[in-house]
């Protein structure tokens, strides 16, 4: 996938410009850059990842694409720990949830970081069995049940794209109740 694919997976969410956002499990920032493109430079994004090297790649890519680091905060941390962040308008989790067996625990933790009616954007593989690199994927159907249990509204399927490895990716949007 390329940058246009990442943007197109998120675009159907019809996000408003601005706000306080986080990308949990940002990695090298492919989806962080797509989010920035959609919500604009007036938004604040906290890119959270345990891997310092990946955040350094994100920093360089963000500067190359957008010219500076205005309103992008790189946080080398585990997003499952308590983070010193303000209540968020939105959270993006792209290819992060499939590393956790207990998805309800993760989803409930993520919910606690959002303002009421805050947006959660999820990008995942649309299968329920994984491999050594994607140990615990979840289909959109499985995600629907988990999201409701974690205190979110019924998720809306935004888009799908083929994957060479595990059938397809999907993007979904839900809100904190």
The three-state secondary structure class of 159 is: strand
How far is C-alpha 49 from the chain's CA centre?
A: 11
Q: pLDDT per residue over 145-159, tens digit each?
A: 999 999 999 999 999
Q: pLDDT per residue over 98-117, tens digit each?
A: 999 999 999 999 999 999 99
Q: Answer whether 28's CB lies under 8 Å from 57's CB.
A: yes
- Tell me, yes or no, if the pTM score tops 0.85: yes
Judge whether 160 lies within some domain: no
Judge whether 162 lies within some domain: no
Q: Answer whether 10's CB lies under 8 Å from 121's CB.
A: yes
Q: Answer whether 21's CB lies under 8 Å from 45's CB.
A: yes
**Mean pLDDT of the region 127-131:** 93
Judge whether 76 lies within some domain: yes
Here the CATH number for the domain that contains residue 99 is 3.40.50.150
Judge whether 168 lies within some domain: no
As a whole number of angstroms, the distance between CA 17 and CA 40 comes to 6
Judge whether 175 lies within some domain: no
Confidence of residue 67 (pLDDT cuts 50, 70, 90): confident
Judge whether 133 lies within some domain: yes
Judge whether 30 lies within some domain: yes
Q: Answer whether 51's CB lies under 8 Å from 21's CB.
A: no
Range of the domain at 65: 3-155
Residue 73 in this model has a pLDDT that exceeds 90: yes
Residue 1 in this model has a pLDDT that exceeds 90: no
What tokens appear for 129 in the block? 């069995």
User: Number of structural domains, the chain?
Assistant: 1
Q: Answer whether 161's CB lies under 8 Å from 1's CB.
A: yes
């Amino acid at each position: 996938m390329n940058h246009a694919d990442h943007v197109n997976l998120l675009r159907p969410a019809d996000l408003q410009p601005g706000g306080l956002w986080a990308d949990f499990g940002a990695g090298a920032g492919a989806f962080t850059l797509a989010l920035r493109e959609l919500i604009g430079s007036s938004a604040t994004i906290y890119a959270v990842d345990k891997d310092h090297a990946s955040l350094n790649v994100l920093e360089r890519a963000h500067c190359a694409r957008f010219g500076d680091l205005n309103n992008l905060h790189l946080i080398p941390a585990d997003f499952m720990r308590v983070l010193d962040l303000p209540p968020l308008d939105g959270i993006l989790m792209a290819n992060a949830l499939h590393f956790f067996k207990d998805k309800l625990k993760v989803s409930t933790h993520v919910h606690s970081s959002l303002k009421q009616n805050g947006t959660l954007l999820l990008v995942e593989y649309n299968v329920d069995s994984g491999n050594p690199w994607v140990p615990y994927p979840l289909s959109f159907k499985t995600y629907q049940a988990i999201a409701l249990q974690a205190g979110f509204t019924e998720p809306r399927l935004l888009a799908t794209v083929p994957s060479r490895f595990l059938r397809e990716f999907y993007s979904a949007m839900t809100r904190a109740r």
